[in-house]
């Protein structure tokens, strides 16, 4: 199996400096945590990223990884995610034999069909779309909601200014960092996060780290 090529998240150092300048509390977290550790796979397609996301939904990592491995094996290649034509042409029974639920099997087929029909953008097309346009296009796929689309924007496409305001970890990290008794509402977090532009993806990543820091866990 070939090792994946990875690239660093764009403007990571500039993002850290900006966030520390506009938000002293987040700046102290950045100083303690260190560099932004998001690695991007430039060869992973939007189709593959969404397909893996569908498999992993509501499952523990090990179980989802095992299902993904079996799904690849159904099409005789454990080193690559099945092509859209393979998924679209398979029966639900065949897909479910990998351990997928019926709803996930149907979602994968919808993803494959929208990829074949060019409803789903590829990386080149995505480069010409803003974040809102991309999220709208991605959530047209069955089983893909705004949160999954936002994760793809950050961790697959390296979009710099995505703030997943409905994400529990981001909200929890915010409440811990700023000493709030309750989780912020998405609207409150969105308003506060205006100061983090244009690097809200990095801010979200550091808020996730807050939930793991011993000084905040209690």
Query: Catalytic residues, which ones?
Result: 167
Burial classification of residue 210, based on how many CB atoms lie within 10 Å of its CB (0-12 exposed, 13-18 middle, 19 or more buried): buried
DSSP string, 109-129: HHHHHHHHTT-S--HHHHTTS
Please tell me the distance from the alpha carbon of residue 87 to that of residue 51, in angstroms, as a whole number.
10
Contact (Cβ atoms closer than 8 angstroms) between residue 96 and residue 87 = no
Contact (Cβ atoms closer than 8 angstroms) between residue 186 and residue 155 = no
Nearest Cα neighbor of 121 from 95, 149, 99, 147 is: 149
Characterise 38 by phi-psi region: left (phi > 0), alpha (psi -120 to 50), beta (else): beta
- Alpha carbon 99 to its chain's center: 23
Other C-beta atoms closer than 10 Å to the C-beta of 171 total 22
Other C-beta atoms closer than 10 Å to the C-beta of 90 total 21
């Amino acid at each position: 199996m070939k090792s994946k090529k990875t690239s660093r998240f764009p403007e990571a150092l500039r993002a850290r400096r900006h966030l520390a300048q506009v938000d002293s509390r987040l700046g102290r977290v950045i100083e303690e945590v260190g560099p932004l550790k998001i690695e991007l796979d430039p060869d992973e397609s939007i189709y593959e990223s969404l397909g893996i996301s569908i498999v992993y939904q509501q499952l523990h990592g090990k179980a989802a990884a095992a299902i993904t491995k079996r799904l690849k094996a159904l099409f005789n290649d454990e080193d690559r995610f099945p092509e859209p034509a393979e998924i679209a042409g398979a029966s639900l029974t065949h897909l479910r034999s990998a351990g997928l639920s019926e709803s996930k099997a149907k979602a994968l087929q919808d993803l494959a069909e929208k990829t074949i029909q060019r409803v789903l953008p590829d990386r080149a097309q995505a480069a010409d779309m803003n974040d809102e346009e991309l999220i709208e296009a991605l959530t047209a796929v069955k089983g893909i909601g705004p949160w999954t689309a936002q994760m793809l924007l950050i961790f697959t496409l390296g979009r710099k200014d995505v703030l997943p305001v409905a994400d529990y970890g981001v909200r929890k990290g915010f409440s811990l960092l700023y000493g709030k008794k309750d989780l912020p509402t998405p609207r409150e977090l969105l308003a506060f996060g205006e100061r983090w532009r244009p690097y809200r993806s990095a801010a979200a990543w550091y808020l996730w780290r807050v939930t793991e820091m011993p000084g905040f866990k209690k």
